[in-house]
Structure 1
Amino acid sequence: MRILVFGMTENPGGVESFLVNYYRHIDRNKIQWDFLCNSHNPVAYEDELISLGGRCFHISARSADRQKYRQELDSVFKEHAKEWSAIWVNVCSLANIDYLKVAKEYGIEKRIIHSHNSQNMDNWLRGLLHKWNKRQIGKIATDFWACSEDAAKWFYSGETLKKAVVIHNAIDVERMRFDEEKRKAIRTKYGWKDKYIIGNVGRLHFQKNQSFALDIFVEYLKKNKNVLLVLVGQGEDERMLKEKVDKLGIADRVFFAGLQSDIQAWLSCFDLFLFPSKFEGLSIVALEAQANGLTTISSKKVIPAEVKMNDNFYFMDLEAGAEAWSKQIEEISGYERAEYSEVKKRFAEKGYDIDTETGKLETLLMG
């Protein structure tokens, strides 16, 4: 059977990582995925998706040309809808549910909506569209999934919330384990051999709160001069963040790494993972950092408690302020990475190891 999957974009972010993690591990002799992409540029991991047997169907973004978008969307379904047993839409907002509506029009019986966030990360208009479509989604989708309980509540209410199924954002723990050689390679390349490196990975966006990370870093610099902050990712806030770095006079202490394909290498390079997001569904990168064994500080009451796998994972209240976060870093800066054997065991026990979760997803997709 074949399933049409929406959720891959040009940016290798959390949703994209979630999808490719599972796609690498499903039994592709039983079930195969195709990908609907709202961009004519290659999406994240596209070469790998195709090599694994998937097909990528590119259409225009609705925001770029509404008429062309709808024509191309109809064209894809008109030609291929009969090949798909289900459509699985992975999004952070219900602002656009056209893919599910068109799938229903073309007779695709299993229509899955999957929530990957817990708050509005878009403008007010898309927020209003989300609220409107939240009332309609029960008439259009047949299956209601979410990455966490909070993400389910953001998308669903009433009967749809009762039907919601939480799908763990399981990861390939082995693929993210600490790699000493990669650590040395990056540190040698950039001349960071003896630096204490605080890292963050994510879209440069107000949701991920890298601006607050800079405030924390400035406080920590008062206590430790041999420290560097590395931000991996791109996004709308990049210019603002670089301007703030210049204004704070720390341009020589902050490194913008841009988009990176080998996240394992960068996590291995770090000594501490700083993750002060304002809201999340259930963060893939917070799991990846722990699979790498990294000591991690994350936002309390923002990152779901079930994300914590390792003992060296700490929650801090955003309202505590930058100085308090800095003091927490100081207290735990000497902690060692978690042992891989213990990491692997905990991920499996809590249902976040891809090796143990793939079969469950297959059953739900084929159910």
Structure 2
Amino acid sequence: MYKVLTFGMTDNYGGVESVIMNYYRRFDHKKIKMDFLVTSSSEIAYSSEIKKYEGKIFSIPSRHDAPIAYHKSVNKFFKNHAQEYDCFWVNMNNLVNIDYLKLAKKYGIKRIIIHAHNTRLMETGIKGKIREGIHQYNKKQLLRYATDFWACSQDAANWFYDKKILSKVCIIKNALKEDKYSYKESNRTKLRKKYGLENKTIIGNIGRLNYQKNQSFLLDIFAQYLLLDENAKLLLIGKGEEERALKEKVKKLDIASNVIFLGMKENVIPWYSVFDIFVFPSHFEGLGLVLLEAQANGVPVLATKDTIPTDVKVNENLEFISLSKSAKYWAEKIKKNLDNDARIKSKEAIVTNFQKANYDIDLEAERVEKLFLSTTIK
């Protein structure tokens, strides 16, 4: 039995969490056992499923909320448990904190895998500059602590790793089971009836409500779209630090009756069938798992040009648009897609597209399982 300690799960049903679970579900649990180290004070996403697979969840205090307790706990954890694991799989959005890597190395975990999931820091301003400086410094330290270097895209690798490391990076696709997301008329009918959305044009967005996901600009786009189609509704699925500000903006734009904040959903799959179009004007992404999920459903997608890796495009009905374009321009693109009925209805065509692009989880999980069980990077 190959034992893996995994870091990167939180209480949010987000992209990184979904990627970890998509692979975890398909590994041979007789060959690979995974436990999880978390800094969440509440129950983490997919905890019941993790326990079903007999995975243990170890919780330590957050460095941000309780720095002294954090340092004591994280050191104690590795001192007491490091010898139990063959591998430490560290899923990270940045390198501002690499304590986990140092302690895993110190206490003898032989294989330490860093898995990069983003292309820039969340923070801006002075705080962002300080954290960027720490990130850049720590990039040059990685060869001292890690053995394997993974990334969700080449763009993520280029930002995350020093040039000396790039030739060693293994791209791990944010793969999923595409037919799980297939369009279902029953989901569309049921949810539209429940929320009073029958005969409405539905624009959807799924993501943490924060600067990165840029829902603020999406509200501007939607306000412009309402001038073209007053029968539209915008559905926002997610929670985050900008929720209050976004709700205030909705009031200022006088579009409150047309915008629905649905909060975080453990299962977002049915909602893709509700949407008529998925709009994702994110400032940046390591890849953008929700874009793959939307494409697996066949719903047309508009996403940000240049700051989202083009690797994410699987279907022809995903279009990239620059954030330099006006909200009116985005709104007109939405109208054009809807007028052309751009949803892909052929399940077979979507499955073929995903397999060709190496985003089929059954195929990719087999490759990643072999990477875990091997001693060299492939």
TM-score tier (shorter): over 0.9
What displacement does 1:78 show?
A: 2.4
What displacement does 1:174 show?
A: 2.1
Equivalent residue for 1:356, pick from 331, 347, 363? 363
Equivalent in the alignment of 2:336 = 331
Q: Please give the secondary structure, in 2, of the residue aligned with 1:163.
A: coil
Does the CA contact (< 8 Å) of 1:179 and 1:264 recur in 2?
A: no
CA distance in 1, matches of 2:260, 2:202: 10
What displacement does 1:342 show?
A: 0.7
Does the CA contact (< 8 Å) of 1:178 and 1:264 recur in 2?
A: no
Q: Does residue 212 in structure 1 map to residue 213 in structure 2? A: no
Equivalent in the alignment of 1:346 = 353
Equivalent residue for 2:232, pick from 217, 227, 234? 227
Q: Does residue 140 in structure 1 map to residue 145 in structure 2? A: yes
Equivalent in the alignment of 1:4 = 5
Equivalent in the alignment of 1:306 = 311
What displacement does 1:2 show?
A: 0.8
Equivalent in the alignment of 1:14 = 15
CA distance in 2, matches of 1:38, 1:69: 9
CA distance in 2, matches of 1:183, 1:196: 12
Q: Does residue 183 in structure 1 map to residue 188 in structure 2? A: yes
**1:258-311 CA-partner distances (Å, limit 9, x unpaired):** 000121111111110001001001111000000111100011112211211112
Provide the identity percentage: 46
CA distance in 1, matches of 2:32, 2:75: 24
CA distance in 1, matches of 2:151, 2:248: 36
CA distance in 2, matches of 1:181, 1:126: 47
What displacement does 1:112 show?
A: 0.7
TM-score normalised by the chain length of structure 2: 0.95
Matched letter for residue 356 of structure 1: L
How do residues 263-342 of structure 1 correspond to structure 2 at under 5 angstroms?
263-334=268-339, 335-338=341-344, 339-342=346-349
Equivalent in the alignment of 1:34 = 35
What displacement does 1:126 show?
A: 2.2
Q: Please give the secondary structure, in 1, of the residue aligned with 2:251.
A: helix
What displacement does 1:159 show?
A: 1.6
What displacement does 1:336 show?
A: 4.2
What displacement does 1:117 show?
A: 0.3
CA distance in 1, matches of 2:38, 2:315: 35
CA distance in 2, matches of 1:172, 1:100: 31
CA distance in 1, matches of 2:285, 2:30: 34
**Structure 1: 4+ residue segments shifted above 6 A:** none
What displacement does 1:161 show?
A: 1.4
CA distance in 2, matches of 1:42, 1:106: 27
Equivalent in the alignment of 2:171 = 166
CA distance in 2, matches of 1:185, 1:23: 31
Matched letter for residue 85 of structure 1: D
CA distance in 2, matches of 1:6, 1:57: 10
TM-score normalised by the chain length of structure 1: 0.98
Equivalent in the alignment of 1:115 = 116
CA distance in 1, matches of 2:194, 2:304: 32
CA distance in 2, matches of 1:252, 1:54: 44
What displacement does 1:50 show?
A: 1.0
What displacement does 1:118 show?
A: 0.5
Structure 1, unaligned runs of 5 or more: none
Q: Please give the secondary structure, in 2, of the residue aligned with 1:87.
A: strand
**1:113-162 CA-partner distances (Å, limit 9, x unpaired):** 11100011134232222111111112111111111111001111222112
CA distance in 2, matches of 1:120, 1:253: 32
CA distance in 2, matches of 1:77, 1:325: 49
What displacement does 1:74 show?
A: 2.1
